[in-house]
């Protein structure tokens, strides 16, 4: 599951937790230099 939510553009930390039986939450903490994350932050302004 962690491979599915991993960022291909940076060396992100990925955590996957089962929040209920059969339900998972993926969290990706991007590097500051990640171009994808920078573009998302720019578009959300």
The predicted structure's pLDDT at residue 22: 93
pTM above 0.85, yes or no: no
Question: Considering only CA atoms, which of 26, 7, 6 is closest in space to residue 16?
Answer: 26
Question: Considering only CA atoms, which of 16, 14, 10 is closest in space to residue 37?
Answer: 10
Q: Yes or no: say if 26 and 14 are a contact pair by the CB < 8 Å rule.
A: yes
Give the model confidence (pLDDT) of 1-45 as tens digits: 656 677 888 888 888 889 999 999 888 888 888 998 899 889 987
The predicted structure's pLDDT at residue 18: 93
Entry field: residues in the chain: 45
Q: Which two tokens stand for residue 21?
A: 């039986």
The predicted structure's pLDDT at residue 44: 85
The contacts of residue 22 (CB under 8 Å, 6+ apart) are none
């Amino acid at each position: 599951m962690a491979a599915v939510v991993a960022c291909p553009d940076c060396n992100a930390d990925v955590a996957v937790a089962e929040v209920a039986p059969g339900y998972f939450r993926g969290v990706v903490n991007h590097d500051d230099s990640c171009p994808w994350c920078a573009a998302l932050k720019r578009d959300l302004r």
